[in-house]
């Protein structure tokens, strides 16, 4: 496996007095797709919020590109290239596609590379080129997901974090999302994916973790986990 870009060590966190994560340790690798699977309520999104600085770590350490970022504010993590595409897309519906993409390039790293990033995004999603001046809120769910992914890429991510990108999409659009993820992986973009579509995730991923009840219970290559009886019974219905 290649160089480690993100390392989470023995992380505990939660909300208020309720602990959600217990002693969680994961690694994400440069130029690779790392995936976290698990059922609803297993703590996957909470882990992403802790990594991006939306919620604080109670215990443990988060290291990004060799730097301890455990106590760094979320905006400074974004400046370092830690960029998340949130669950539910979270676009600005009254703003145009162009304006939403522009919002993705607000961090220090991204501003000087705006033109280059925009060209890359529009090449990846040609449909957005035709709709640059359309309000994001008037677009279909699949098109909105393209805008959300494009906005994330406009931030010039060193690690692109994807939280349930296929959630709520029709089956054909789910395949489109995974085709995009495959293209990005082939481009060498480092990604950390949280996804409930276990079968498609494990087909694409380089390394995966299984979460249950706030803990990491298993890890391995996508192929290893797909062959695991435990994973097949719990997540693939086999």
Positive or negative, the CA dihedral 148, 129, 106, 160 is positive
Task: Tally Cβ neighbours within 10 Å of residue 126.
Answer: 9
d(CA 123, CA 96): 18
Which residues, in sequence order, are bridge partners of residue 85?
A: 162
Residue 237 has pLDDT above 60, yes or no: no
Using a pLDDT cut of 90, give the percent of the chain over it.
76
71-119 confidence digits (pLDDT tens): 999 999 999 999 999 887 789 899 999 999 999 998 888 888 999 999 9
Cβ proximity of 62 and 52 under 8 Å: no
Cα distance between the two ends of the chain:
29
Residue 160 has pLDDT above 60, yes or no: yes
Residue 238 has pLDDT above 50, yes or no: no
Confidence of residue 236 (pLDDT cuts 50, 70, 90): low
pLDDT of residue 207: 96
Residue 214 has pLDDT above 60, yes or no: yes
All domains of the chain, ordered by start, with CATH?
1-81+158-238 (3.40.50.300), 90-157 (no CATH)
Mean pLDDT of 25-45: 93
d(CA 18, CA 238): 34
Whole-model pTM: value is 0.92
């Amino acid at each position: 496996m290649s160089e480690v870009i993100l390392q989470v060590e023995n992380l505990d966190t939660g909300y208020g007095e309720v602990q959600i994560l217990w002693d969680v340790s994961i690694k994400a690798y440069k130029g690779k797709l790392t995936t976290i699977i698990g059922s609803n309520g297993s703590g996957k999104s909470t882990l992403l919020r802790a990594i991006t600085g939306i919620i604080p770590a109670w215990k443990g350490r988060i290291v990004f590109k060799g730097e301890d970022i455990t106590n760094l504010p979320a905006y400074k993590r974004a400046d370092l290239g830690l960029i998340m595409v949130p669950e539910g897309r979270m676009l600005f519906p009254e703003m145009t596609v162009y304006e939403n993409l522009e919002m993705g390039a607000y961090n220090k790293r991204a501003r000087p590379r705006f033109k280059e990033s925009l060209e890359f995004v529009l090449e990846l999603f040609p449909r957005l080129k035709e709709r640059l001046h359309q309000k994001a809120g008037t677009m279909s769910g699949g098109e909105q997901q393209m805008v959300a992914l494009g906005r994330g890429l406009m931030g010039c991510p060193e690690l692109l974090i994807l939280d349930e990108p296929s959630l709520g999409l029709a089956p054909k659009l789910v395949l489109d999302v995974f085709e995009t993820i495959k293209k990005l992986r082939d481009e060498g973009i480092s990604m950390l994916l949280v996804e409930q579509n276990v079968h498609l995730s494990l087909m694409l991923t380089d390394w995966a973790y299984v979460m249950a009840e706030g803990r990491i219970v298993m890890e391995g290559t996508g192929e290893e986990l797909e062959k695991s009886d435990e994973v097949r019974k719990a997540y693939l219905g086999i």
